[in-house]
Structure 1
Amino acid sequence: MAIDDAPPITGTAAEPVAGSPAAERGSLLRNRSWQAFWVAETLAAVAEQSADIAYPLLVLSTTGSAAYAGAVGSAQLLATGVLSVVGGTLADRFDRRRMLMLCNSVRAVLLGAFCWMIAVGTVPIAVTFAVALLSAACFGITMPTQMALIKQLVRPSQLTEATAQNQIRWFGAITAGPPVGGWLFGLARALPFVSSAVAFVVSNLLLMLVKVPPAEKRAATSAGRGTMEGFRYLFRHPVLRPLMISITLSNMAFNTTGIFLAVIATAKDRGASDGFTGITLALAGAGGLLGSLVAGGVIRRTPPSLVFMVGYGIGPIAAMALAVVPGVAPLGVIIACVFVRGPIISALFLTYAAKLVPDDIQGRVLGAIVFTSMVASPIGVLAVGAIFETGGSFWVFVMVAVVAALGTLPTFTRGVRTLRPLDEITS
């Protein structure tokens, strides 16, 4: 389908119904349902990240195999991506809050049983894989579900602020979860899983306080057609399509696993200690948290087309700097600069998606977004390892620069260059 045939950049949904929780609140701080939802999902995200780092640590400690430990992480990434498509479809057909609570309950019971198995004896690696995959599957289902629920809890005029605040939750969990999980694992193998199970239970208690306005009944569709509708809408839209291409290529170049692997290998080649390498990675990761804190202000004050064009333009420049800069610590500073843009771009893109996509297919489109954004990341991770083995760090970062440069090209399309400000689009 030609670009001109894609859905227009307008919206038709009205303000929340009078008397609904979203309509009764004058600000996000006074919106109790939103704040309860945000805290609940923050706890769930930290719990997920804590457990995710503990699975490969458990495999490594019981088998001594780094290959098996890496396989756990790859399998989780794949399960999350695939199940996000299913989760998007379910989010358009069922109560979204109840879906989040169901997934939390499944993970709490699963991790509780897993803790008991660890306590009574050595856990077979197949069981660890199964628990990690099932937990990742629940995570994949919740990702588009919780993003779709945001639109039901806040006013259309608050979508940008709410989405930016959601980025703080996500990047804060990425920053805090792995260190917490690693520290707890060092105290006792079962502790990260126990704490995650408790966090999921508390998250459910908070979700019980969330009041969701009644949604219009969604049309029933066949399973195949309903699932693919999100992909069809996404790839026909003149704004969402090019931006999705940029996001996918950027994630391939700068996904956290791949770029951290490149830094670790480079640091080892340059004789840095494990402790210094860890500090470098923490410095790099802090960039994402900083970006999430300033995302709302940047989006309000900067033309959207400029955010996307400059944001993606930073990628190839930073990658070439990584290729030539000496030492180890500067790598962390440069990557932190790249990671700052992540939550800003994500918040802006997801706000446009929330405003442009009709609510009856919101979940499926978000599921397609999550899946598409993740699908190329394993390729990037594999490429980093293979190129480092044959050519060293210089050619790894050159590869990253080339992929990142390709990711900037879609931002020069007419649909992105002429983006209307968010406040001119009714959702």
Structure 2
Amino acid sequence: MTESVKQETAPPVPLRRNVNFQALWTSESFAAVAKETAEFAYPLLILATTGSALFAGAVASAQVVVAGLVSIPAGRLADRFDRKRLMIGCNLARVLLLGLFSLLIATDLVTFPLVLLISTASAVFLSLSQPAGIAAIKALVPPEQVSTAISQNQIRFFGATLIGPPIGGALFGLGRAFPYLGAVVGFVVSTLLLLLIRKPMQAEATTHDDGKRHAKEGFRFIRRNPILLVMLIWVMCSNMVFNHTGLFIALTATAHDTDTAAAVTGAAVAFAGAGGLIGSLVASWVHRHVPPRVIMLYAAWVGPAAALLLAFTPPLIVMGVIIGFVFLRAPIVGSLFLSYVTVLAPDKLQGRVLGAVFFLTIIVQPLGIFLVGTIFDLAGPVAVFLFILSIATPAALTTLTRTMRTLPRPADLEESVS
């Protein structure tokens, strides 16, 4: 009896020594870098073969739309089938796709429709694996480590956005097929690491499907849960007007209008992008020391404040720094929100809830990108940032609701749920 009590009260293994989770995290890191490497090379390839910036933009938009639409069935698959096998299958599909694409590039058989087909197909398999990878965290780490584990996941995402493009650019300089061959290597390594995971990536009961696991159950769960619903409404508004692509377009277009040097433009974009990486590095500390309601107050109101400052069109470097403070919140809030999903949604419903979340947060981004570009062309940068202000301010008012003013820590919710 004494020995069993000791086992029950023994502290969990530190996350850094959790072999199964670290294998998943490292696997997903290699896959993320491979994805960013290939995606950075698509516009380079299109410009080199067609000279059309419009075609390059069309490919990027198609990938975002496809990723959003596929998220719904992806969530259902993550609940119905073995998540490890699903992720391995998606990796191998991308290995075959990009391997074939590399061969076609080497033989000069590349056309714009082919690039569009390969890039959107790759986006499909990315979206199919994404809910499974995040849903698996709940099965691989103890409840008290969920927030830390998800915060570490954010480092992977933002680190890949900084590492992948330089790798893609360097490999493209060696040969047009090399970025895609590099991505193939990344996905192969990712697959091998997944094979090292010995613990089941979901509860056994979730693999026994009754045939009635409709994707709409994820949306219903969110609608019935005030924390997820209110936070998701804010996240959707934020993603529409503060997504990376839209703000980077606004920055580069402002630089063009003001005849700012390319080096200064690059530095401004770097300052903006660095905010996300810094946020991912401090997210775990913030979650431990700052109450969720305070996190959301900063996250919600830094947006309108930044939009108002940007409307005065300060020097481009200053604009980059201001946007960096906005991007700082993304990994902190993202990991906090996903922690709530992980804690509140039962394992058998994790995939479908995540699928609904990804669909709703992704699908608004093309609209925001289109509106930013259109408003800039019609009225210039001041109008763009006033438009962003008009969306960000009502969204920030969600912090006045009782739900947001009394946000508990995810770990406290875990105790009440269990």
Q: TM-score range by the shorter chain?
A: over 0.9
State the alpha-carbon separation in 1 of the partners of residues 233 and 295 from structure 2. Answer: 16
1:64 corresponds to which letter in structure 2?
G
More deviation, 401-410/187-196 = 401-410
- 1:220 corresponds to 2:209: yes
- Distance across 1 between alignment mates of 2:171 and 2:390: 39
1:4 aligned residue? none
Structure 2 SS opposite 1:64: coil
2:310 and 2:385 in contact (8 A); partners too:
yes
Looking at structure 2, the residues matched to 315 and 264 of structure 1 have their Cα atoms a distance apart, in angstroms, of 20
> 1:115 offset after TM fit, Å?
0.3
The aligned counterpart of 1:30 is: 17
Alignment-derived partner of residue 318 in structure 1: 306
Aligned residues of 1:50 and 1:181 also touching (Cα < 8 A): yes
**Pairing 1:2-401 to 2, within 5 Å after superposition:** 26-213=13-200, 215-218=203-206, 220-222=209-211, 226-401=214-389
Q: Distance in 2 between matches of 1:43 and 1:150?
A: 17
Contact 2:203 2:347 in 1 (8 A): no
- Do the aligned residues in 1 keep the contact of 2:21 with 2:140 (CA within 8 Å)? yes
- On the 8 A contact 1:33/1:210 being kept in 2, the answer is yes
CA positional deviation for 1:211: 1.7
TM-score (norm 1): 0.92
- Matched letter for residue 190 of structure 1: A
- The Cα shift of 1:222 comes to 4.5
Runs of 4 or more above 6 Å deviation: none
For residues 134 and 24 of structure 1, the distance between their equivalents in structure 2, rounded to whole angstroms, comes to: 44
How far residue 83 of structure 1 moved from its aligned partner, in angstroms, is 1.1
**CA-CA distance at 1:242 after TM superposition:** 0.8
Counterpart-to-counterpart distance in 1, 2:101 and 2:365: 29
1:135 counterpart letter in structure 2: S
Q: Partner of 2:80: helix, strand, or coil? A: coil
Name the TM-score, length of structure 2 as normaliser: 0.94
Counterparts of 1:183 and 1:407, CA distance in 2: 41
Instruction: State how far apart, in whole Å, the 2-side matches of 1:338 and 1:182 are.
Output: 27
Cα offset, 1:174, TM superposition:
1.5
Query: Cα deviation per residue 1:276-307 (whole Å; 9 max; x = unaligned)?
Result: 21121111101100000000111111111111
Rounded Cα–Cα distance in structure 2 between residues aligned with 1:62 and 1:275:
26
Deviations 1:29-79 (A, max 9, x none): 111111111111000001111111211221121111111110000000011
Whole-angstrom CA distance in 1 between matches of 2:66 and 2:210: 24
SS at match of 1:217: helix
The 3-state SS of whatever aligns with 1:280 is: helix
Aligned to 1:220, the other structure's residue is in SS state: coil
Is residue 309–residue 412 contact of structure 1 (8 Å, CA) maintained in 2? no
* C-alpha RMSD over aligned residues: 1.6
Paired letter, 2:122: S
**One-letter identity of the residue aligned with 1:137:** V
Structure 2 letter corresponding to 1:201: V
* More displaced stretch, 308-317 vs 271-280: 271-280
**3-state SS of 1:235 partner:** helix
Aligned partner letter, 2:209 = A
Paired residue type of 2:161: I
> Shift in Å at residue 336 of structure 1?
0.6
Please state how far the C-alpha of 1:178 moved relative to its aligned partner. 2.0
Question: 3-state DSSP class of the match of 1:322?
Answer: helix
- Please tell me the residue identity of whatever aligns with 1:237: N
1:418 Cα shift? Answer: 1.4
| Equivalent residue letter for 2:40 | I
Report the Cα distance in structure 2 between the residues aligned to 1:24 and 1:185, rounded to whole angstroms: 48
8 A Cα contact 2:313 2:381, kept in partner: no
Q: Output aligned runs, 1:398-413, within 5 Å.
A: 398-413=386-401
2:3 equivalent in structure 1: none
Alpha-carbon distance in 1 for matches of 2:162, 2:290 = 27
Paired amino acid for 2:146: L
Q: In 1, distance between residues paired with 2:99 and 2:288?
A: 44
Structure 2, unaligned stretches of length 5 or more?
A: 1-5
Amino acid at match of 2:382: F
Counterpart-to-counterpart distance in 2, 1:168 and 1:419: 24
Residue type matched to 2:377 in 1?
E
Is there any run of 5+ residues in structure 1 with no aligned partner, and where? 1-17
**Is the 8 Å Cα contact of residues 243 and 411 (structure 1) preserved in structure 2?**
no
CA distance in 1, matches of 2:11, 2:96: 36
Alpha-carbon offset, residue 270 of structure 1 = 1.2
Amino acid at match of 2:30: L
Number of aligned residues: 406
Query: 1:325 deviation in Å?
Result: 4.0
Match of 1:12 in 2: none
> How big is the shift at 1:420?
1.8
Deviation at 1:185, TM superposition (A): 1.4
